[in-house]
Structure 1
Amino acid sequence: MHVRRVLTGLVPLLLVATACGEDGSGSTTSDSGKKLDKVTLTLNWYPYGEHAPFYYGKQQKIFEKHGIDLEIRAGQGSQKTVQATGAGQTDFGWADTPALLGGVDQGIKVKSLGVFLQTTPSSVQFFEAQGIKTPADLKGRTIAGTAGDALSKTFPIFLEKNGLNESDVKVQNTDPAGKIAAVISGKTDALLGYASDQGPTMQNKAGKEVSYLRFSEHGLNFYSNGLIAGTKTLARADLAQRMAQAVSESWTAAEKAPDPAVAAMDGASEQLPPKEVLGEQLRTTLTLLHTDATKGRAPGANAEADWKQTIDVFTEAGLVRNAKPVGDYWAADAAPKG
């Protein structure tokens, strides 16, 4: 994962808080005099293109329409966001589904309100000049990966589905922030990363075209990032439903206007990627919103069969030890409608 340093200058709140607890609870009043619930959303990481819909929804007052005054906070990885959400340190989180599954497996009281990235962005990424066209071309290659993360855990399944053994490929354990540098320097032939994140960054840094072998195009798909909430927030059923619907509508709006959505991120971080990278990250992300089971439905509307498939994949990968019913992971009653 490319380095995203300390977040400064998140889009400033336009509303003055009348009350605010540690977790952001309380209320504010809009310019029109409407009472709003003050809500915190902690991202999976520091802002990048995937997060544009949240900033755009805030700018376009979609959250305000649903009675929400949204504060967007940077995260430090999906696992930490799951932990913070379960502990009630943030009202909502944006996190990878494998981290959610693992958290529930460990007893963290958190559920998904809807997965938005329903086609995994997991991929093997490399410069076009490497001449890699199919999974078979990975044989004998060295790939940068991070031990223990979802990508490295599912890569053996990807290899197996494409007729390869783990011994056919060398995975070099690399710090998340160092994977791009490993490829650019030639220390590795490729990296395990997300097509909606590292790829556009690597292409921009190196000035070379990046190509992908996407897991989803080679026999392996599972859920990725989505909206989550802990027990405290889920107890406020009306708020959870309003937030899920506001997020869904924000993604719909961003899908129709990706350039303005990216522009809405201005000031989100001093280390925000260049606009061309943000744009490519968002455009790629927008291709991940549905599976065959959810085509034509609102962003964030899930299918139980897709949840079961995801749980099965991560049980096989060893990230879930005691698989539970879908309802233990997904609060379907609070999910986006449509």
Structure 2
Amino acid sequence: MKKRNLALSSLAVLGTASLALAGCSGSDDGGGSASGDGETTTVSFMLNWYPYGEHAPFYYGVEQGIFEEHGIDLQIEAGQGSTKTAQAVGQEQVDFGWADAPAIMASIDSGVGIQSVATFLQVTPSAVQVFSDEGIETPEDLKGKTIAVSAGDAPTTTFPLYLEAVGLEESDVSQQNVDPAGKIAAMLSGQVDGLIGFAHDQGPTIAAESGRDVSYLRYSDAGLSFFSNGIVAPSSTIESDPELIDALVQATSEAFAAAKEDPEAAVASMEGKDPQMPDAEVLQGQWEETIKLLETDATAGQVPGTNAVEDWENTIEVLSTAGLTAEDGTVDTYYTDEFQPE
């Protein structure tokens, strides 16, 4: 589609600042297209989880007026897992969501009316996470070790593919199924030698709580990668209000670029926003790890949120092989390229 310039002029931004702070929007019910006439549209945006470092760009984008410049009054809400976020978007309980690609794709396979409109975390953060002083430096060192996993999640379900990629058998590693909330505790207490999860999330938390360095055996280092988190939209909104989606994607891309440029300021913008948020040191580590995930070889040098068809095709191949998504899914099934950031 031909994109409209939805940015406000600087004078218009100043003129509407008080309205934005008062929670006003460009329409009575908060719906409708983002506009360039000085008004803002209130947009509810559900995260994949309680706020952590990965989400710094959204708070920074709000603080810096980036979303407002695109006509959006962004209302950030905590989530309780990517699957619940995807379902909430499909049921139009919220306008948009931030969710993991495997959860989005599996939801679409089950009939939920949503699509991905821009993936920002394009390299999977999936990794085996271990204490650096335990002598586990290569995949070969995992032999005979016990690793905490959580049945059904993407890192666990694709773990056999990782083992195959590094030349190990599933029997080489003992997998202890642990509730997601208990994996960190199991590692801290020494019940397991490590855990499988997202390196940009648990790793900095474990390091802060233990006072020990954490090392990562990343799936991507073994040549196994797939998409992670991005923006999901209802199919109905894609059809009825593409200009609003375009404004949100463009603003998010600018916010990620700005947060990447000034990581400390981006993390500082999160202060006091949620009582369950990690402390500043952990947030900083999480965001710095997230920056490493924002582009692939196919999108190197492009603005954040630029998606390449070959990366989507690879994601579909990996996740369908792991049994997480349908075998007959196509790129168009899960993603629309109508809103590529500029």
Q: Normalising to structure 2: TM-score of the pair? A: 0.91
Using the TM superposition, give the Cα deviation of residue 77 of structure 1 relative to its aligned residue in structure 2, in angstroms.
0.2
1:4 aligns to what?
Answer: none
1:253 aligns to what?
Answer: 258
2:126 aligns to what?
Answer: 122
2:288 aligns to what?
Answer: 283
2:63 aligns to what?
Answer: 59
Within 5 Å, which residues of 2 pair with 1:21-40? 21=29, 25=31, 34-40=38-44
RMSD (CA atoms): 1.7
Q: Give the conservation status (yes or no) of the 8 Å contact 1:88–1:232.
A: no
2:152 aligns to what?
Answer: 148
- Equivalent residue for 2:140, pick from 119, 136, 149: 136
What amino acid is aligned across from residue 238 of structure 2 in structure 1?
Answer: L
After superposition, give the CA deviation of every residue in 1:272-291 in whole Å (9 maximum; x if it has no partner): 11101100100110111000
Within 5 Å, which residues of 2 pair with 1:291-306? 291-306=296-311
Identical columns (%): 51
Pair 1:206-2:210 in alignment: yes
Q: Give the conservation status (yes or no) of the 8 Å contact 2:34–2:70.
A: no
Using the TM superposition, give the Cα deviation of residue 232 of structure 1 relative to its aligned residue in structure 2, in angstroms.
2.5
Closer, same or farther in 2 for the Cα pair 1:20/1:42, shift >3 Å? farther
Q: Give the conservation status (yes or no) of the 8 Å contact 2:24–2:40.
A: no
Pair 1:111-2:115 in alignment: yes
Q: Give the conservation status (yes or no) of the 8 Å contact 1:56–1:264.
A: yes
1:5 aligns to what?
Answer: none
1:269 aligns to what?
Answer: 274
Partners in 2 of 1:301 and 1:28 — Cα distance? Answer: 21
Partners in 2 of 1:268 and 1:87 — Cα distance? Answer: 26
Secondary structure, counterpart of 2:231 in structure 1: strand
Secondary structure, counterpart of 2:257 in structure 1: helix
- Equivalent residue for 1:334, pick from 320, 325, 339: 339
What amino acid is aligned across from residue 134 of structure 1 in structure 2?
Answer: T
Partners in 2 of 1:303 and 1:168 — Cα distance? Answer: 36
1:9 aligns to what?
Answer: none
Partners in 2 of 1:206 and 1:125 — Cα distance? Answer: 13
Q: Give the conservation status (yes or no) of the 8 Å contact 1:82–1:103.
A: yes
Q: Give the conservation status (yes or no) of the 8 Å contact 1:311–1:323.
A: no
Pair 1:166-2:170 in alignment: yes
What amino acid is aligned across from residue 320 of structure 1 in structure 2?
Answer: T
Secondary structure, counterpart of 1:129 in structure 2: helix
Partners in 1 of 2:328 and 2:322 — Cα distance? Answer: 12
After superposition, give the CA deviation of every residue in 1:226-252 in whole Å (9 maximum; x if it has no partner): 111011321201101110000000000
Pair 1:187-2:194 in alignment: no
Number of equivalences = 321
Q: Give the conservation status (yes or no) of the 8 Å contact 1:20–1:38.
A: no
Closer, same or farther in 2 for the Cα pair 1:28/1:148, shift >3 Å? closer
Partners in 2 of 1:333 and 1:29 — Cα distance? Answer: 19
After superposition, give the CA deviation of every residue in 1:125-152 in whole Å (9 maximum; x if it has no partner): 0111110111111111110010011011
Using the TM superposition, give the Cα deviation of residue 170 of structure 1 relative to its aligned residue in structure 2, in angstroms.
1.0
Closer, same or farther in 2 for the Cα pair 1:245/1:28, shift >3 Å? closer
Q: Give the conservation status (yes or no) of the 8 Å contact 1:15–1:69.
A: no
Partners in 2 of 1:20 and 1:112 — Cα distance? Answer: 27
- Equivalent residue for 1:75, pick from 52, 75, 79: 79
Q: Give the conservation status (yes or no) of the 8 Å contact 2:249–2:341.
A: yes
Secondary structure, counterpart of 2:40 in structure 1: strand
Partners in 2 of 1:289 and 1:59 — Cα distance? Answer: 22
Q: Give the conservation status (yes or no) of the 8 Å contact 2:32–2:244.
A: no
1:320 aligns to what?
Answer: 325
After superposition, give the CA deviation of every residue in 1:67-117 in whole Å (9 maximum; x if it has no partner): 111100000000000101111111111000000111111111111111111
- Equivalent residue for 2:47, pick from 34, 40, 43: 43
Using the TM superposition, give the Cα deviation of residue 328 of structure 1 relative to its aligned residue in structure 2, in angstroms.
1.5
What amino acid is aligned across from residue 234 of structure 2 in structure 1?
Answer: G
- Equivalent residue for 2:95, pick from 91, 94, 100: 91
What amino acid is aligned across from residue 97 of structure 1 in structure 2?
Answer: A
2:245 aligns to what?
Answer: 240
Partners in 1 of 2:60 and 2:328 — Cα distance? Answer: 36
Secondary structure, counterpart of 2:304 in structure 1: coil
After superposition, give the CA deviation of every residue in 1:139-184 in whole Å (9 maximum; x if it has no partner): 1111001001101100000001111111111111101011011011
Q: Normalising to structure 1: TM-score of the pair? A: 0.92
Partners in 1 of 2:263 and 2:79 — Cα distance? Answer: 23
1:310 aligns to what?
Answer: 315
Partners in 1 of 2:273 and 2:50 — Cα distance? Answer: 9
Secondary structure, counterpart of 2:216 in structure 1: strand
Secondary structure, counterpart of 1:132 in structure 2: coil
Secondary structure, counterpart of 2:158 in structure 1: helix
Using the TM superposition, give the Cα deviation of residue 335 of structure 1 relative to its aligned residue in structure 2, in angstroms.
2.5
Secondary structure, counterpart of 1:288 in structure 2: coil
Partners in 2 of 1:159 and 1:205 — Cα distance? Answer: 29
